């Protein structure tokens, strides 16, 4: 079994001062940087996923902007793959699956943001494609949300999505 670390959308717009800040993103990035450092030391395959909107008027991750760039806390090394995506699911219309197959990867560790969107979509797709998946919860970030007149804190959103993934899609640690 070959392991890969997938860093999803740890990009500038999710940090304070960005167009779409995620609560406690600095804390998430610190945890993500530790996971990345450990994965590099272990010789794991590293893949950075970078989301870029298709429209210059998108609310965030606008094309060719600093906000759409990977945050310096987890900056890729030259030998690490960076895959561009345009949808929440990191496998959708990208070379991610083919890249993982070419490198005999069978187990993924997934970290990044946002838990309720791109982490959820990517982890579910990975499991559906047959990968064993681990999610490091403290290295994933969520935003507060509301639905049906009920407001949820970022912590509540995080707990709801991590619990759902832990039920059938991933080992959540």
Catalytic residues: 118
- Residues 126 and 91: beta-carbon distance below 8 Å: yes
> Which residues, listed in sequence order, are joined to residue 2 by a DSSP beta bridge?
105
Taking a C-beta distance cutoff of 8 angstroms, is the pair 91, 129 a contact?
yes
E strands, the chain, in order? 2-8, 45-51, 81-85, 105-113, 132-141, 145-147, 150-152, 171-172
């Amino acid at each position: 079994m070959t392991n890969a670390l997938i860093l999803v959308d740890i990009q500038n717009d999710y940090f304070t001062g960005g167009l779409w800040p995620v609560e406690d993103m600095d804390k998430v990035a610190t945890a993500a940087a530790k996971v990345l450092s450990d994965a590099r030391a272990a010789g794991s395959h590293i893949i950075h996923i970078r989301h870029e909107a298709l429209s210059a008027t998108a609310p965030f991750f606008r094309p060719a902007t600093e906000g759409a760039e990977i945050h310096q806390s987890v900056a890729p090394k030259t030998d690490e793959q960076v895959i561009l995506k345009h949808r929440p699911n990191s496998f959708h219309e990208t070379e991610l699956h083919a890249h993982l197959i070419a490198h005999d990867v069978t187990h993924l560790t997934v970290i990044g943001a946002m838990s309720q969107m791109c982490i959820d979509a990517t982890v579910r797709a990975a499991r559906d494609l047959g990968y064993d998946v681990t999610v490091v919860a403290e290295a994933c970030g969520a935003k507060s949300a509301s639905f049906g007149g009920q407001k949820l804190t970022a912590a509540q959103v995080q707990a709801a999505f991590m619990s759902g993934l832990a039920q059938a899609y991933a080992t959540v640690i």
